[in-house]
Structure 1
Amino acid sequence: MNEYLVIILIIVIVLIFNNLNAKIRKLEKEVSDLNAKIGKITDTETFRGKTQSDKNSLPSQTPIDTPYNKEEQIPVSHETLPASDQKEWMSPVFDFLKQNVLTIIGIFTLVLGIGYFVKYAIDKNWIGETARAGIGLCTGAGIILTGHFLRKNYAVFASIITGGGIAVLYFTATIAFREYHLFTQNTAFLITSVITAVSIILSYYYKSEVLMIFSLLGGFAAPLMISTGQSNYPFLFIYLSLLNTGMLVAAYLRNWKNIGWTAFILTSLYLFYWSTEKPELLTIVFYMISYIIFYIFALQDYFKKNTLAVFSILMLAMINFSGIVGPVYIFNELEHEPVIIFPIIFALVNAIFFFRENMEKNFGIPYSVFTGITVSLITIAFAIQFKAHLITSVWAIEATLLLFIWKKTGHTIFKNCFYLLFPLLITAQIITWTEYFNEKKLNIIFNPVFLTSLVTVISTITNLFLLKSTHRESRQNNNFAEGSITIASYGIIYIALLSELTYHISGMPWEALIHVGLMFSIYYIFILLLLRKKMDLPPVFQNIFIYFFLFLLGINSSVSVLSVVTAILAKKLHTGFYLLHFFQWIPFIYLYVRVIPSSDFHRTKISYWVLALTGVIVVSCGLHHSYLLVFAQDTPHSYKIREHFNILYLPIIWTILASIFMYTGLKKNITEYSKTGFALIGIMVLKLYAHDVWQMDNISRVIAFIILGVILLLSSFTFQRLKNIIKNMVDKKDQNDGETQTPPD
């Protein structure tokens, strides 16, 4: 009874649909006639208005040559960006989905409904296995015929309907082979190949790229559908090569772009899986065939119009780099040489087009693209020859290439691809650094880990200079992405160099490791500040680096150097190692004399206090450590020497430094330095009278008080004299200004 109700319901739905379809066609005809009448009226009025306007403006107008877009006949400005940059490149996809989402869901639901109906019929034992396959094939053919009859008035709808019918045929053939065993694997493959060929022919005949994509998806899925688990890779890739060749012909004749990307992604997945599953030399042949097919696909516009579209450039970059990874991986696994043959071959291919553009003096976008790809491939060849890690090196250079192409073309898609690839590069580089923990003995510099890091460092530095011109715009627009990439780039360079350095001195005591790491960090920040103008370093970054430099300098002078002195006294380090810390004075003095005055570091008052505190720590600790190293014979004896220095000499040092601060503050009219000097004297006096005086013997007490008293009196006298000189200069200046402003009698 239920079956009869379903049949009656289907008949009613068909009748209703047919009735509605007839009414819709009638309405479409009426709307079409009405549009035709309105168009005639509008054209007549436009012609009259234009004629009248031409008559009125004829005497005063001069002819102007305005460039026009050939397709839209709209005037375009020479200064505007290409049309592809003015709109989102994903908008056509979203428009297609919005307009056809119901159709896609509908055909998917219909296929499921048919499947459930067949399952229900099987459960009731209505039909046998052969009949089931026959029903599936007939249903798929019926859906395709339905799409064929609807193609004239509903092109996209018909393409989706036809794609659903093709899917039914694929699934029917698969189930008939895998579940019912109605025919052999060769027969199943032949059937799926025929389905693929028919679907491609229908796509070309209907001029439907949507249907072509469905056909490709089915064609690439067919080997998986009929697979028995036995690897017959040569046969598989002969089939895929023929499928890609058909795609290339259709894409060239119909100028379809999306099918090429679909085929490229699916082919790459097959090739990469095959390379890792069973690396063999035969695979390289199919890599080369795929490279040729997709390279020609990417150059369609170049051959036709001597131009390169956005996605053509992206395809060139992708195919040149992905085509290297597989063959080089196979050569490394099979231990064949030379692996650089593949990037060199690809570089020569691109160099041909580069020289062609150069000979014809065409220095536009194609010239820049072929130049960038050629140089990148040669760089990869050198990196691979020196045994750098493949994926990390390829991603580093490809990221730089994408950024370079963006700078040359202005197409934001390349910048977005760079943003997506950069985090992957960082992840790959971090994995590469972990090999320092696993390798026991690596050569200095010429080892795979550091050479890979070196490629990443060079790529990162290049990226920073390519982004240099956009830093100002990024700061105005508060571009978080570029700011994050800049910070991450400095971090990559820092960790890459520090990791190599730390690895090769890892056998030294931990005091030496910490001290060398801090010294390296100090000089790294110092170099960044030296190159701040060339790198267009934002003022905020400059101030952060200066504060961080002073912090590291203070930590190194107080804690790290003291641990080094202790290790030297314990005979764990050589005395000469102590001399290393004196090199920190060079960047500190240069920073104070040249870098800080030319920056806006002193825009806040706290900066003077931080700078003064760092100076006090560096001078005090430097003299303390030197005194300890000279007079202490061993570690136990050093405690008494240290206490003696802190009680007797440290107040004198602080008093001298405080006097220098106060003198500098008065001379340069910087009140913060004067305040710093007075604060330091206050701390010294408090320390002297609260602690030190009770720890001294009588002779030390007399010496300390006399020296401190003399220093304080001389400082006071100097300040009074300097203050009077400044006061006299100000009074004289005011008097001269008054005489100048007084008119003569």
Structure 2
Amino acid sequence: MSEILLTILIIAIIFIFSHLNNKIRRLEKEVGDLNSKINPLQQNIVVHQKNIQEQEPSAEQAVPIPLQERTIHDERTIEEAPSPPQKDWLEPVFDFLKQNILTIVGIFTLVLGIGYFVKYAIDKNWIGEAPRAGLGLAAGAGIMLIGHFLRKNYAVFASIITGGGIAVLYFTTTIAFREYHLFTQNTAFVVTTLITIISIVLAYYYKSEVIIIIALLGGFTAPLMISTGQSNYPFLFTYLTLLNVGMLAASFLKHWKSVGWTAYTFTTIYLFYWTSEQPQLLSIVFYIISYIIFYIFALQDYFKKNTLSTWDTLMLVLINFSSIIGLIYTFKTLSYEPVIIFPLVFAAANAVLLAKEYGKKNFGFSYSIFAALTISLITVAVALQFKTHLITSVWAIEASLLLYIWKKSGHSIFKTCFYVLFPLVIIAQLMTWSEYFNTKDMSVVFNPVFLTSLVTIATTIFNLFLLKRINEAGKQTESFFENVFAVVSYGVIYLALLLEIIYHISDMPWSAMASIGFLFSIFYIFVLILFRKKLDINGTIQIGLVYLFLILIIFNASFAASEVAMAVLHKKLSFGFYMIHLLHWIPFIYIVWNTSVVSGFYKTKPSYLAISATIVIAVSCGFYNTYLLSSVNDISLLYKAREHFNILYLPIIWTVLASIFIYISLKKNIPEYSRIGFILFGIMILKLYSYDVWQMDNISRITAFIILGVILLLSSFTFQRLKNIIKNMVDKKEEEQDN
């Protein structure tokens, strides 16, 4: 019953298709008749307009415009003419899909339908194994034949149909070999090779880029389809090399760039898999052959027209660096030397083209690209000579190269590639830093980890300045991604230097390591704030840096300083080390005293609170630790010294600081400081009368009250005097205005 229904359905589809085809032909005939009637009428209208123009001269002809004015007018017209909008590089792909999506889905569905029909016939035992393969091959050939007859009137449709037939041939050959074992592996390979050759010939004959892409997809996947699990890499890459040579010939003859990119993608995947699975000296030969083929492919427009397109430039970058990674990994795995030979040879190849451009005195885009490639490859060679980590160095240099090419060309694809590659650089750098925990006794600076970090630092600084110049040239505002990139970049530089320092002082006491780490962090942030304009650091980032700087000062003055002081008391560190630790006061005083360092920081109320809190904590902890080190000779007396300082000296310090805050508030008219001063007074008085008084002996209590009383009276007198001075100045100014 199902067979009868299927037959009826096929007959109905054929009838409907025939009926629609006849309708379409009648419509085409009617459209052709209308065109033949409309064309003579349009020609008559054009002739009539031409006669009128000849009889009546225009105003421009009647009143001739001077040459100079015409030139100016033309220049203005050219300037005012809007530049054509740049099309997205994906737009042709989307246009193709929109116009042909039904055809693509249809041929895919047809191939699946043929497959299901063959499976149904097999399940019903209608045909044997050999006829099954023959049926599939016949179906593929039949579909290709249909495409052949439709090629004149429906070129794109016919190309997709033909591609579907090629796909049927590939899959049929694969099934006949793997499932039915109708022929040997060599025979299957010969058949798939013949299908590929026929497909390439058809693509050239039909002038169809779609067919050759399908042929290449089949050609590159054929080894996987007929694989038995036994690796025969020399045979495989000989076949791939022949396929790439055919690709290169087709690309030169028809200028099909997508063909080269398809071949490059598959070839690189195969080469990397071979390199990671079973590195051999022979693989180096195929790396070099592939490099030559795809380098020629990338330079075909350069040889013909002396130009480099966006995609050609991207291919030059990728083929250089993917080949470098594979070749050097193979050399290192097999323990061959010297590994720098490959980047130097590739640099020499690019230097030849650079010399050619220099000889012609052509310092345009091509010159910049060849110069950038040459310098980048030499940099890779230097990095390898000092035994840096390969992937991190290569990716860091490649990221900078992409950003440089974006600056020179203006094509956003390179910027996108840069933002995709830069996170990979960070991940690779993190993996490189993990070597600090696994390796011992590395030399200072000249060790593989830090030399790799230096490459990353150099490229990161280059990227930051390059982005700054790009924004200045285009008068563009920094985007969110560029701000994130800047923060991450400064973070990478910071971590690279900090980890190297910590590694080499790891034998010191923990308190010393923490102190040095905090000091380095404080001075690093201070340098960024100091050179914020030259580094073109965003205003928001500047304010964030100041807050981070103050937080580091607080932690260093309280936590790290206390640890260092305890280490000095326990004879683990010298008093001189504690004095070095106090160096954080130099940048801190500069930041507090010079309010113009980050002008935007002092425009917000929280900034005054942050500055005041940092001053109070830093000064209090500084005096506290210095007092302990100068007064405690026996560690058993430490607790008593702490209590004595907290009860006697700390209220005095807070009173002095509160008085200074109020004085600054009155002098510079900053009300926030006066509030902070009175709050500090309140905390000090509350502490004094609620706790300190009950812990003091009589002498200390009397001394504390006398000193605090004198300070409060002097402060009050100073404020009253300053208040009178300000009042007299205001009154005098009002009198002058009245007169």
Q: What TM-score comes out, normalization by structure 2 length? A: 0.93
Q: 1:687 to 1:211 in 2, by over 3 A?
A: same
Q: Is the 8 A contact 1:539 1:599 kept in 2?
A: no
Matches within 5 A, 1:216-295: 216-295=216-295
Q: 1:323 to 1:597 in 2, by over 3 A?
A: closer
Which secondary structure state, in structure 1, belongs to the residue aligned with residue 446 of structure 2? coil
Corresponding letter in the other structure for 1:736? E
Give the unaligned 5+ runs of structure 2: none
Q: 1:616 to 1:138 in 2, by over 3 A?
A: same
Q: Is the 8 A contact 2:483 2:538 kept in 1?
A: no
2:183 is the counterpart of 1:180:
no
Q: Residue 323 of structure 2 aligns with which residue?
A: 323
Q: 1:67 to 1:346 in 2, by over 3 A?
A: farther
Q: Per-residue CA shift, 1:709-742, capped at 9, x if unaligned?
A: 2222222222222233333333333333443xxx
Q: Residue 150 of structure 2 aligns with which residue?
A: 150
Corresponding letter in the other structure for 2:239? Y
Q: Residue 132 of structure 2 aligns with which residue?
A: 132
Q: Residue 344 of structure 2 aligns with which residue?
A: 344
Q: Residue 57 of structure 1 aligns with which residue?
A: 60
CA distance in 2, matches of 1:636, 1:9: 102
Corresponding letter in the other structure for 2:278? K
Q: Is the 8 A contact 2:380 2:393 kept in 1?
A: yes
CA distance in 2, matches of 1:39, 1:375: 62
Matches within 5 A, 1:397-436: 397-436=397-436
| Structure 1 residue 260: Cα displacement | 0.9
| Structure 1 residue 403: Cα displacement | 1.0
Q: Residue 305 of structure 2 aligns with which residue?
A: 305
Matches within 5 A, 1:6-17: 6-17=6-17
Which secondary structure state, in structure 1, belongs to the residue aligned with residue 594 of structure 2? helix
CA distance in 1, matches of 2:475, 2:694: 58
CA distance in 1, matches of 2:252, 2:73: 29
Q: 1:336 to 1:478 in 2, by over 3 A?
A: closer
CA distance in 1, matches of 2:246, 2:559: 71
Which secondary structure state, in structure 2, belongs to the residue aligned with residue 86 of structure 1? coil
Structure 1, 359-368 or 462-471: larger mean CA deviation: 462-471
Q: Per-residue CA shift, 1:33-90, capped at 9, x if unaligned?
A: 534654665566567667749724333557868999xxxxxx9769977x6x722211
Q: Residue 460 of structure 1 aligns with which residue?
A: 460
Q: Is the 8 A contact 1:570 1:634 kept in 2?
A: no
2:99 is the counterpart of 1:99:
yes
Q: Residue 743 of structure 1 aligns with which residue?
A: none
2:638 is the counterpart of 1:617:
no
Which secondary structure state, in structure 2, belongs to the residue aligned with residue 600 of structure 1? helix
| Structure 1 residue 473: Cα displacement | 11
CA distance in 2, matches of 1:67, 1:191: 68
| Structure 1 residue 313: Cα displacement | 1.0
Corresponding letter in the other structure for 1:656? V
CA distance in 1, matches of 2:72, 2:602: 55
2:502 is the counterpart of 1:499:
no
CA distance in 1, matches of 2:41, 2:599: 70
Q: 1:30 to 1:509 in 2, by over 3 A?
A: farther
| Structure 1 residue 251: Cα displacement | 1.0
Q: 1:440 to 1:47 in 2, by over 3 A?
A: farther
Q: Per-residue CA shift, 1:368-416, capped at 9, x if unaligned?
A: 2112222211111111221211112111111111111111111111111
CA distance in 2, matches of 1:612, 1:618: 10
CA distance in 2, matches of 1:180, 1:173: 10
Which secondary structure state, in structure 2, belongs to the residue aligned with residue 465 of structure 1? helix
Q: Residue 660 of structure 1 aligns with which residue?
A: 660
Tell me which stretches of 4 or more aligned residues in structure 1 moved more than 4 Å.
35-51, 60-68, 75-81, 469-478, 595-598
Q: 1:473 to 1:727 in 2, by over 3 A?
A: farther
Q: How high is the sequence identity, in percent, across the aligned residues?
A: 62
| Structure 1 residue 696: Cα displacement | 1.7
Q: Residue 534 of structure 1 aligns with which residue?
A: 534
| Structure 1 residue 604: Cα displacement | 1.2
Q: Residue 165 of structure 2 aligns with which residue?
A: 165
Q: Per-residue CA shift, 1:175-202, capped at 9, x if unaligned?
A: 2222222222222211111110110011
CA distance in 1, matches of 2:373, 2:486: 24
CA distance in 2, matches of 1:573, 1:45: 102
Q: 1:627 to 1:544 in 2, by over 3 A?
A: same
CA distance in 2, matches of 1:44, 1:366: 52
Q: Is the 8 A contact 1:320 1:346 kept in 2?
A: yes
Corresponding letter in the other structure for 1:7? T
Q: 1:465 to 1:41 in 2, by over 3 A?
A: farther
Q: Is the 8 A contact 1:151 1:159 kept in 2?
A: yes
Give the unaligned 5+ runs of structure 1: 69-74, 740-745
Q: Is the 8 A contact 1:655 1:680 kept in 2?
A: yes
Q: 1:388 to 1:33 in 2, by over 3 A?
A: farther
Q: 1:196 to 1:577 in 2, by over 3 A?
A: same
2:639 is the counterpart of 1:636:
no
CA distance in 2, matches of 1:376, 1:67: 47
Q: 1:643 to 1:405 in 2, by over 3 A?
A: same
Q: Is the 8 A contact 1:557 1:621 kept in 2?
A: yes
Which secondary structure state, in structure 1, belongs to the residue aligned with residue 95 of structure 2? helix
Q: Is the 8 A contact 2:530 2:597 kept in 1?
A: no
Structure 1, 347-356 or 328-337: larger mean CA deviation: 347-356
Q: Residue 735 of structure 2 aligns with which residue?
A: 735
2:652 is the counterpart of 1:646:
no
Number of residue pairs aligned between Structure 1 and Structure 2: 731
| Structure 1 residue 4: Cα displacement | 4.1
Root mean square deviation, CA, Å: 2.6
CA distance in 2, matches of 1:461, 1:37: 70
CA distance in 1, matches of 2:38, 2:468: 56
Q: 1:596 to 1:686 in 2, by over 3 A?
A: farther
